[in-house]
Structure 1
Amino acid sequence: MLVADIVTIETPGLGDRSYLAHDGDVAVVVDPQRDIDRVTALVEALGVRVTHVFETHLHNDYVTGGLALARQTGAEYVVAAADEVAFERRPVADGDRVSTGRLTVTALHTPGHTPNHMSYALSEDGETVAVFTGGSMLFGAVGRTDLIGEEMTDRLTRAQYRSVRRLATELPEQASVLPTHGFGSFCSASETSGDSSTIGHERRHNIALVTDDEDRFVEELLGGLGAYPRYYAHMGGLNAAGPAAPDLSPPEEVDADELRKRVEAGEWVVDLRQRRAFARLHLAGTVSIELGDSFATYFGWALPWEAPVTLVGDSVEQVAEARRQLARIGVDGIAGAAVGDAEALAGDRRGGYRVAKFADLAEAFDRDDVRVLDVRRRDEWEQGHLAGALHVPFWELPERVDELPGGEIWIHCLSGYRASIAASLVDRAGRTAVLVDDDWARAAELGLPIEAPS
């Protein structure tokens, strides 16, 4: 009789999942996020002992909590033998087995997402019940293969195709598929489908398994890859170095006078409040990145890496949540935080700009002083954009804002979130920003002129 239980620990903001599997006595953890207090709280609640922490790969979208968790719990840290790391770990290669209690974990080399990527098949009393697939087999999709370098992309894409097919061939139909990526993560090569899956289901639906020709798979996969967050470039190195547990203590408190001095000095001050509230009133020179599930992703995409940052929030709790999210992507340089009434913090340096809908843009579209700025990704732009619009992806604005023309700059994206970041950057540069906080689909419904691919 099977008694193993697998608990999912979700991080929706990054589109990732971590897992804890236990037999009621001992537990293994797979791909933990950096804020390991979520894992240790679960361990305490379950009354189990963590004996092993497994890493499927050196992650590119977040800083791992694996080493810190292993050290805190006394567990063995299991990492691919071929990965060059700066810490002691239990190295594993293809076919190696790790047993603890009634659980056995078998390492399966599944290159593609990274060269040394491992999947881990979990069995109890000789029966395979699940496979932790990391960035290999996802729900209907696969992990992207272009994060290591352009020169390796073709080879890794072909390896990914074969790795997913290996899992589908060697593992039983009823085994649960438990990926780390694919729930909104930019580590997925395409959109995933569903909230759970099995090997049998993937045999019928996964892109690598329903596409019989490897060359066609490579062409389709690479043709569909869009941009990914800039901060990804730093994650692999941080994970190979062996990151410590994050400091989640409250940042140093900054008063209104000091906050204004930092803005005047050109430092990065990020306002966490709702984007429309920011547009109505804010300390001029600050940047709006609304706190929500996607906060860390877009923060790490928009701002220069390792630049000291001061946070502004409505509450201490809001700042604490922002710090936790930022720690997951290795942003530890929080220079301070200010909490309180926006008007009091702004003083005589009040800023603000207009918020509009696409219906408002339709009325103003032909005015000579109106320019439209589209801040979406290149692949989104190429699928269709407003005639005459400028295109500068939001993350390029800090370096390219001087290229923008005069007049009113109406800024849009797909839903308003990225446009709100961009609008604050345009406003920070002293230009006249208008935030189009609306769904892109409304532009076509209203008859705005859209240039689509031929």
Structure 2
Amino acid sequence: MTAGIDVQVIETSSLGDRSYLATDGEVALVVDPQRDIDRVIALAGRLGVRITHVLETHVHNDYVSGGLELSRLTGATYAMAAADEVPFQRMPLADGDLVEVSPRMRVRAIATPGHTFHHLSYALEGPQGAEGVFTGGSLLFGTTGRTDLLGHEHAETLARHQHASAHKLADLLPEGAQVWPTHGFGSFCSATQAEGDASTVGREKELNPALRLAAEEFVTQTLSGLDAYPAYYAHMGVTNLAGPEPVDLRAPTTADPLQLRRRLEAGEWVVDLRNRKAYVRAHLAGTVSLALDGPMATWLGWMIDWGAPLTLLGETTEQVAQAQRELVRIGIDRVAAAATGTPEELAAEPDQVHTMATADFAALSAALEGQAPDGLPAPEVVLDVRMGNEWNTSHIVGAVHLPLPELPHRLDEVPEGAVWVHCGSGYRATAAASLLARAGRHVVVIDDAFDTAADKGVPMTVSA
């Protein structure tokens, strides 16, 4: 950065996304803000700058944008692609358009279709020229945005656009220009997982497949690597095109133990936000474990029927508030109820408090040899709830594969008998085990790192 221009990152690690605030010390522009814009306003306040422009690189499919509301509250100009037809007022931008933010800072729109058809990147220019580029879902760190979110029928066409757009950026911008992507830090909007925490155009020329591979090879590689993406994505683009409502983070209604029991008996989603180790030690029977120390909103939004009643259980009101913040980002605006306390405090009857058996891969290896540790049932079913690409890379011989997002609607496909369930680390396995236990299954959580399974003697199948 040259003197006088500063770019601040606003991280949303739970969704794998970043927003940005760029400022010359007096005014600021914001790129791709998340829906909880209080974070952005607070940052501008700490820096003592006025937000004058809000820019969207594209109509987002993985979160509800806060751009429209931020522009309303601050009076900032709201800008997005002219080709995206929306019912609200915005500055329409097309390839080559220049936005003068201040005498010392401007952005140039660059058409970079690929992640979407109308995707724009924004080159940030100071007195000395291009400082960097906000790439949204175009050129990411070591990868690109996925190309199938508008329908598989468009995936190949968009992959070809993505390749061309990456080369366009590399040709237009100096090698020292910073790359500031929105996606790629665990987001399912990324074609593969991003590499590193910062990058430049020059670095991407050396590492990024979009800039190293010929178009046909890139398209083939991109399409073959695409795995499933969250079901709630179907609602995000529609909401963003219509214009999201202001965010509402008021505390939900408090549920007492009798109300919680009624919700559980009705089969509603009652989500335990505590970490998985606390959950297996004690939890209310019928609750689902989706801890705040993982991507709770992503998995919940993927599995729950859209609009179904949801109750949150936390140790503290702060946990519930954090969960609400995560959920409004994906359009789950109102929580039916919430409660805080220990499982014993939240139980209407003592027998509602259950524990859950756990093991590691060494125990599974012994159990498969007929030497299950004391107190654990023999594994009649080994259930792998990782995603398809993970399974295809390597998996346990004889395991049953049901990705976690599909499990709520495919529970009857899990063979009879005691189930030992695993994922890559233990987070998804605990969530899956809670769903299985809710359905009355005898379950053991393998709370262990999958990459240690082979070394601990578990028989593995590895792809060539």
Cα distance change on mapping 1:293 and 1:407 into 2, 3 Å: closer
Summarize the alignment of residues 190-205 of structure 1 with structure 2, pairs less than 5 Å apart: 190-205=192-207
Give the equivalent residue in structure 2 for 1:117.
119
Give the equivalent residue in structure 2 for 1:279.
280
Whole-angstrom CA distance in 2 between matches of 1:276 and 1:175: 44
Summarize the alignment of residues 30-429 of structure 1 with structure 2, pairs less than 5 Å apart: 30-101=31-102, 102-125=104-127, 127-211=129-213, 213-346=214-347, 347=349, 348-366=351-369, 370-429=380-439
2:227 match: secondary structure: coil
State whether residues 111 and 120 of structure 2, in contact with CA within 8 Å, keep that contact through their aligned partners in structure 1. yes
Whole-angstrom CA distance in 2 between matches of 1:405 and 1:127: 63
Whole-angstrom CA distance in 1 between matches of 2:367 and 2:388: 25
Whole-angstrom CA distance in 2 between matches of 1:88 and 1:438: 51
What is the CA distance between 1:215 and its match in structure 2? 0.5
What is the CA distance between 1:116 and its match in structure 2? 0.4
1:29-51 deviations in whole A, cap 9, x for unaligned?
00001110000001111111111
1:65-88 deviations in whole A, cap 9, x for unaligned?
000100000011101011122322
Whole-angstrom CA distance in 1 between matches of 2:419 and 2:282: 19
Whole-angstrom CA distance in 1 between matches of 2:36 and 2:221: 36
Structure 2: stretches of 5+ with no match in the other structure = 371-377
- Output the amino acid matched with 1:222: L
What is the CA distance between 1:126 and its match in structure 2? 6.0
1:125-152 deviations in whole A, cap 9, x for unaligned?
3611111000101112111111111111
Give the equivalent residue in structure 2 for 1:9.
10
Whole-angstrom CA distance in 1 between matches of 2:31 and 2:230: 24
What is the CA distance between 1:110 and its match in structure 2? 0.2
State whether residues 367 and 379 of structure 2, in contact with CA within 8 Å, keep that contact through their aligned partners in structure 1. no
1:291-339 deviations in whole A, cap 9, x for unaligned?
1241211222232222120000101111111111111111113001011
1:115 match: secondary structure: coil
Structure 1: stretches of 5+ with no match in the other structure = none
Moved more, 421-430 or 9-18: 9-18
What is the CA distance between 1:2 and its match in structure 2? 4.0
2:228 match: secondary structure: coil
Moved more, 232-241 or 429-438: 232-241
Could you tell me which of 448, 453, 457 is aligned with 1:438? 448
1:184-206 deviations in whole A, cap 9, x for unaligned?
21111112222111122222222
Task: Normalising by structure 2, report the TM-score.
Answer: 0.95
What is the CA distance between 1:366 and its match in structure 2? 4.7
State whether residues 353 and 432 of structure 1, in contact with CA within 8 Å, keep that contact through their aligned partners in structure 2. no
Whole-angstrom CA distance in 2 between matches of 1:236 and 1:295: 21
RMSD: 1.4
- 2:444 is aligned with 1:452: no
1:170-192 deviations in whole A, cap 9, x for unaligned?
11222211111111211111122
Whole-angstrom CA distance in 2 between matches of 1:412 and 1:293: 16
What is the CA distance between 1:343 and its match in structure 2? 1.2
State whether residues 79 and 92 of structure 1, in contact with CA within 8 Å, keep that contact through their aligned partners in structure 2. yes
1:229-269 deviations in whole A, cap 9, x for unaligned?
22222211111111123111111111111010111111110
State whether residues 36 and 245 of structure 1, in contact with CA within 8 Å, keep that contact through their aligned partners in structure 2. no
Task: Normalising by structure 1, report the TM-score.
Answer: 0.97
Moved more, 197-206 or 149-158: 197-206
Moved more, 108-117 or 281-290: 281-290
- Output the amino acid matched with 2:354: G
Whole-angstrom CA distance in 1 between matches of 2:16 and 2:8: 17
Whole-angstrom CA distance in 2 between matches of 1:442 and 1:234: 38
- Output the amino acid matched with 1:70: S
1:427 match: secondary structure: helix
What is the CA distance between 1:270 and its match in structure 2? 0.4
- Output the amino acid matched with 1:124: G
Moved more, 338-347 or 65-74: 338-347
Whole-angstrom CA distance in 1 between matches of 2:281 and 2:80: 49
